[in-house]
């Protein structure tokens, strides 16, 4: 995890987590002193992990954690007093937020961060695979649309339209989707209709 945001209302809490993360050789550590300033930081940057030392001056941090995890692959850990941790757990754990109770033992924190890193890496891999599949699907839709235009405009059989796109892609050293976009811009008369 390369980019970590530590949110703590107390300076001592921010220093503790920052020192711990630096000793464990995690990436860049940024800090915030409230949920409001953390929300601003989250809107400006991409964080792999948010550690919330609860309570914060403007809330428990549960809402902030839920907001952080819905933004993408950001993992979240809330550290709270034992009683508060029990209350927060039921709200945030179903969304994938980790909760640890104070007093915090370094070995448990280290182990939890290792587990969070494993989950983060797995989610990143799945997100990358998902993005790749989305792109392939979009490309196939564009290629199929171009084939349909070749079939309707030039009266090509489907197999010939497919081979035409592949041949153009090879000859011009372009992707099939790029060739398909050119075909669409040439033959699609609906693109100019409002």
User: For the domain that residue 177 is a member of, what is the CATH number?
Assistant: 1.10.10.10
Q: Who's near 49: CB < 8 A, 6+ residues apart?
A: 1, 3, 4, 5, 74, 75, 76, 77, 113, 116, 120
The span from the CA of 125 to the CA of 164, in Å, is: 35
Residues 76 and 40 placed together within one structural domain of the fold: yes
Domain containing 146 equals 135-189
Residues 148 and 110 placed together within one structural domain of the fold: no
Instruction: Tell me if the pTM is above 0.85.
Output: no
At 70 the pLDDT is 85
**What is the maximal distance between C-alpha atoms in the chain?**
75
Residues 76 and 166 placed together within one structural domain of the fold: no
The chain-wide mean pLDDT, for the chain, equals 89
At 45 the pLDDT is 78
């Amino acid at each position: 995890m390369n980019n970590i945001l530590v949110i703590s209302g107390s300076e001592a809490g921010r220093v503790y987590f920052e020192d711990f993360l630096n000793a464990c050789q995690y990436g860049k550590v940024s800090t915030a002193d409230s949920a409001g300033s953390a929300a601003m930081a989250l809107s400006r940057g991409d964080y792999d992990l948010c550690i919330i030392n609860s309570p914060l001056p403007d809330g428990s941090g549960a809402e902030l954690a839920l907001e952080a995890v819905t933004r993408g692959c950001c993992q979240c850990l809330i550290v709270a007093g034992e009683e508060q941790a029990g209350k927060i757990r039921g709200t945030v754990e179903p969304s994938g937020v980790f909760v640890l109770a104070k007093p915090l033992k370094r070995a448990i924190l280290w182990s939890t961060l290792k587990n969070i890193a494993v989950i983060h890496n797995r989610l990143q891999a799945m997100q990358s695979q998902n993005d790749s599949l989305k792109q392939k699907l979009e490309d196939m839709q564009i290629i199929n649309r171009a084939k349909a235009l070749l079939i309707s405009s030039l009266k090509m059989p489907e197999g010939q339209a497919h081979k035409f796109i592949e041949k153009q892609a090879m000859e011009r050293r372009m992707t099939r989707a790029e060739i398909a976009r050119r075909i669409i811009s040439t033959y699609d008369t609906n693109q100019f209709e409002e």
